[in-house]
Structure 1
Amino acid sequence: MQLNDMLAYKVAMLASDLSGSLAREYEAHQLTMPEWRVMATLGACLEGSQNQYKTAKEIAHATRLDKVQVSRAIERLNKNGVVIKRLSKKDKRSSLIALSKDGKAMYEQIIPRVVEWQNKRLENITDDEYRVFLKVIEALTP
């Protein structure tokens, strides 16, 4: 079997290429990839104007980043006023994280660019092909 025929290799190369291309959309806000993933995870949890707080462990699981990357991203985002942290009432050793007002505004500025970026990537793929692609990804996900 050739390297180019290996599923894991093809998926890793695709993920790397897409991630690098997407980075141009959030780098204008001086965000790193881990910071964007943390923001996107928290932004996806917004219910109207209501924040849903997440633990760093939940964010790490959702983003597939390690705890150190998530911790550093949260600290930088907190320092820059993008996220807010509060102590968990259930576990005093744990912090709960959510987007700040400025973080929500930044997220809302970036998301249309991300949607446009995604639409451009999918312009030569039919809706049916995209549904099949998502089904295949789901089937390959452990």
Structure 2
Amino acid sequence: MQLNDMLAYKVAMLASDLSDSLAREYATYQLTMPEWRIVATLGTCQEDAQQPYMTAKAIAAATRLDKVQVSRALDRLVNKGAVLKCMCEEDKRASLIALSSEGVAMYEQITPRVVAWQNRQLKNITDDEYRVFLKVIDALSP
């Protein structure tokens, strides 16, 4: 079997190419990939009025970033004023993290750009093909 025929290699290359392409959409906001993943995750969380906060551990699991990446990105986002942290009453060792009003505004400005980017990526794929693609991804996910 050739490297170009290996599933993991093809998926890794596609993911890398898509990630690099998407990075151009949020780079205008001086965000790194880990920072954008966190902002996007918290932005989605913010839309859920019942659970507007997440712990760093939950963010790491949701973004597939390691704890060090999450910690460093959160520190940068706090310094940028995009994220708020407060102590968790139930577990004093944990912090509850949410987007600040500036972070929400950033998320709301970037999201339409990400949607437009995704639409451009999918322009040569039919809706049926995309649904099959998502079904295959779900089937391959552990």
Instruction: Report % sequence identity.
Output: 73
Take 2:57 and 2:48, find their aligned partners in 1: how far apart are those partners? 24
Mapping for residues 21-60 of structure 1, pairs under 5 Å: 21-47=21-47, 52-60=52-60
Shift of the alpha carbon at 1:119? 0.2
Residue-by-residue CA offset, 1:88-136 (whole Å, 9 max, x unaligned): 0110000010000000001100000000000000011000000000000
What root-mean-square deviation, in Å, do the aligned CA atoms of Structure 1 and Structure 2 show? Answer: 1.2
Tell me how many residue pairs correspond in the alignment: 142
Q: What's the offset of the Cα at 1:17?
A: 0.1
Q: Which runs of 5+ in 1 are unaligned?
A: none
* Matched-pair contact (CA < 8 Å) for 1:56–1:97: yes
Task: Provide Cα deviations, 1:45-96, integer angstroms capped at 9, x if missing partner.
Answer: 1237777100001000011010000000001001110000000011000001
Q: Per-residue displacement from partner, 1:9-63 (whole Å, max 9, x unpaired)?
A: 0000000000000000000000000000000000111237777100001000011
| TM-score normalized by the length of structure 2 | 0.97
2:81 is paired with a residue whose SS is coil
2:12 corresponds in structure 1 to: 12
2:12 counterpart letter in structure 1: A
Contact 2:46–2:53 under 8 Å retained in 1: no
> Matched residues in 2 for 1:24 and 1:50: separation?
32
Could you tell me the TM-score, scaled by structure 1's length? 0.97
Partner of 1:111: 111
Match for residue 100 of structure 1? 100
Partner of 2:88: 88
CA distance, structure 2, for counterparts of residue 91 and residue 78 of structure 1: 21
Is the 1:51–1:98 Cα contact (8 Å) retained in structure 2? no
What secondary structure does 1:60 align onto?
A: helix
Counterpart of 1:105 in structure 2: which amino acid?
A
The letter for the 1-side match of 2:95 is: S
